[in-house]
Homo-oligomer: A and B are copies of this chain.
Amino acid sequence: MTRHALCAEPTHSVWDRSLAPRLRIESGDEVEIPCVDASGGQVWPGMSTEEYLRIDRSRIHALTGPIWIEGAEPGDVLQVDVMATRHSGWGWSSVVEGLGFLKDRFREPYLFHWHLEGEFSASLDPAIVPLRPFLGVMGVARAEDGAFRTRPPGPFGGNLDVRELCAGSRLYLPVYNPGALFSCGDGHAAQGDGEVCINGIECPLDVTLRFYLHKSQALSGPLIESSEESAPDLSSDAWVVVETGTDLAAAARAATGRMVDLLVSRWGFSEVHAYILCSVAMKLRLSQVVNEPVHTVSAAIAKQILPQRQLFPISPR
C-alpha cells in the first residue's frame, strides 16, 4: 500500500471525463487530500452576507481530482474507504434566494459562521450541534462526453450529500471510464437529512481515503457500508414532527416548516437560525409510503442537540 498526498488545488467544478488525471494510484493505495470548502476558498471566517453574495457560484463545488486508479475499466466497482476526516475549526452555512427546500419562505440572503470545537459546535446558540464530517461530493467521471455541472448527483455518485458517509464508512461506485477518474470535495462538518437550507456546515476538510478496485462487478448505483464508529454519541431520543399528504415532497416540506416553527416558538431561535439548524441536524424520514393516497413523513431533531424543554408541562391536578 502506498500513501499519496494530493494538494486540493487546482480544483474543478464540472464532471468531465476528458479532464487529465492529477494522480495515478494502485488499488489499495491511500490518498491524503486537504479539500477546500465548497466555495473553493471564496468564503472566509467573518465574511459578510453582502460579500458572500458576490462569490462566483460557478466555482461551486471546487472538487479535487481526478484520481486515476490503475486497471479500472467500465463495469468495475470502485471502493472508497473514508479513513479519517479533520475539519479546521471553522465552517459556514447560507441561505440563498431561490434555493433551498423552503425557498418560498426564506428569501433573504444570509451567511452564518460556525466555530467548530472537536466533535461539537456551540455557535448556533442554544443548540449544541454534533459534528460528523463527511464529503458531500465523491464520484467518478460520468459515462457521457461533455462537461456537466456538479449539482445533480447520479449513479456515478457526485453530490450525494448522504450524511452516513463519515469516517469509518465505505462508498462503492460503478466505474464508467478507464481509470475511474475519482474526484471529491464539498466538505460538511455536519449535515441533516435533506440539507434543507441548501448547505450543511460547509468547511475545508482534510480527508484520508483508501481505494480498492473490484473487477467486473454488477452495481447500478452508489452503495454505502456505513459506520458510526467515529461519530459523537447521539441518542435516538428526539422531537419528531409528523406530516401526512398525498405528495411526498410537499409533506416533507410541511414537516420541515413545522420543525422550523417549533424551534422558533419553543426554543427561541430566529427563523433563519432554525432553518439552518434543520439543515445541519434534522433527520427526514419516509415513515409510510403505502397507505395510498396519503403518506407520512417525519422530521426529527435529537433531544440532546437542544436545551431540555417540556413543551406541554403537566400541571398537578
Residues of A in contact with B (beta carbons under 8 Å apart): 26-28, 77, 79, 99-101, 151-155, 159-164, 172, 193-198, 212, 214, 217, 220-229, 231, 235-244, 248-249, 252, 258, 262, 283-294, 296-298, 300, 303, 311-312, 314, 317
Contact = CB atoms under 8 A, between A and B. Distances in A.
Given A153-B291, A240-B164, A289-B195, A28 B248 contact: no
B285 A286 contact: yes
Contacts of A196: 289-290
26 contacts: A77-B312, A99-B290, A101-B290, A152-B294, A154-B244, A155-B244, A159-B288, A160-B296, A161-B291, A162-B296, A162-B298, A163-B287, A164-B236, A164-B238, A164-B300, A193-B285, A194-B288, A195-B289, A220-B258, A223-B239, A223-B240, A225-B303, A225-B311, A226-B300, A285-B285, A285-B286
A155 B258 CA distance: 12
Given A160-B242, A223-B242, A226-B300, 9 more contacts: A77-B312, A152-B291, A160-B244, A194-B290, A224-B242, A224-B298, A228-B237, A229-B237, A284-B286
Contacts of A163: 287
A244 B220 CA distance: 12
Contacts of A194: 286-290
Contacts of A155: 244
A220 B243 CA distance: 10
A229 B79 CA distance: 36
Nearest to A240: B224
B291 A159 contact: yes
B227 A237 contact: yes
Contacts of A172: 311-312
Nearest to A99: B290
Given A28-B317, A198-B290, A226 B238 contact: yes
A225 B310 CA distance: 10
A157 B203 CA distance: 40
Given A99-B290, A152-B293, A252-B286, A312 B212 contact: yes
Nearest to A214: B312
Given A289-B196, A312-B172, A154 B300 contact: no
A162 B312 contact: no
B284 A284 contact: no
A311 to B, nearest CB: 8
B153 A288 contact: yes
Nearest to A198: B290
A162 B248 contact: no
